[in-house]
Structure 1
């Protein structure tokens, strides 16, 4: 009787497998360090401090990947396209976002399988936010 013990990799969420809250907070913090210096993206964040946007993205990604449901508890359904509709997201904005996110993902040093899974989602999500032609 070879039972797989509870808590093994197969039962863990992606969130748990990559290190939980700490990993997602590191990812998002590194990303927003790039955004803060980006002349194209920075104006899309009207708050003086990027902290609230950083918190929202961290909570969203944690929930999406199997962590706590704090994002939905506080903000409801993510409705990503609707929330981004007020901003002009063209190919240049997309490319800038992807560039900063690539740097952030690379900084985590995740195993290739996890890095690929995360990156595939992030690039899919970024492409789906485009709402304007160049």
Structure 2
């Protein structure tokens, strides 16, 4: 029996969660929290959070199987290197995850997809800690 193209078995995670629109909603909601956060906001030197929002959206879309726009524009993600200039301690990690938790919850994804996304975000946040509290 042939599995029809476009079925869940052949869809990327990016497609399963709703593609670009879903990732843009996630990242926009996240940066709404960051904009008001006294610990995280200073880590974004640009006046406008728009460029950071765009970079994160493109990165997450690519990571989860969407277009390779991020790498085409910026090369390899090198997340630890890109975050090295910033002090990422446990408090920053926790604040980042607090805003991301709110953003993930706002998507109302089916539980298995939400868990997969959240587990990755927790792992990624932990891997970027580069300073003791």
State the TM bucket, normalised to the shorter chain: over 0.9
Q: List aligned pairs for 1:79-98, cutoff 5 A.
A: 79-98=78-97
Tell me how far apart the structure 2 counterparts of residues 5 and 128 of structure 1 sit (CA, whole Å). Answer: 38
Q: Mind listing any 5+ residue stretches in structure 1 that lack a counterpart? A: none
Which residue does the alignment assign to 1:70?
69
Which residue does the alignment assign to 1:99?
98
- TM-score, normalization by structure 2: 0.99
Tell me how far apart the structure 1 counterparts of residues 65 and 2 of structure 2 sit (CA, whole Å). Answer: 24
Root-mean-square deviation (Å):
0.4
1:26-49, CA deviations, whole angstroms, 9 ceiling, x for partnerless residues?
Answer: 000000000000000000000000
Number of aligned pairs? 133
Which residue does the alignment assign to 1:10?
9
Tell me how far apart the structure 2 counterparts of residues 101 and 90 of structure 1 sit (CA, whole Å). Answer: 16
Tell me how far apart the structure 1 counterparts of residues 44 and 69 of structure 2 sit (CA, whole Å). Answer: 22
1:60-80, CA deviations, whole angstroms, 9 ceiling, x for partnerless residues?
Answer: 000000000000000000000
Which residue does the alignment assign to 1:26?
25
Deviation for aligned residue 1:4:
1.3
Deviation for aligned residue 1:3:
1.6
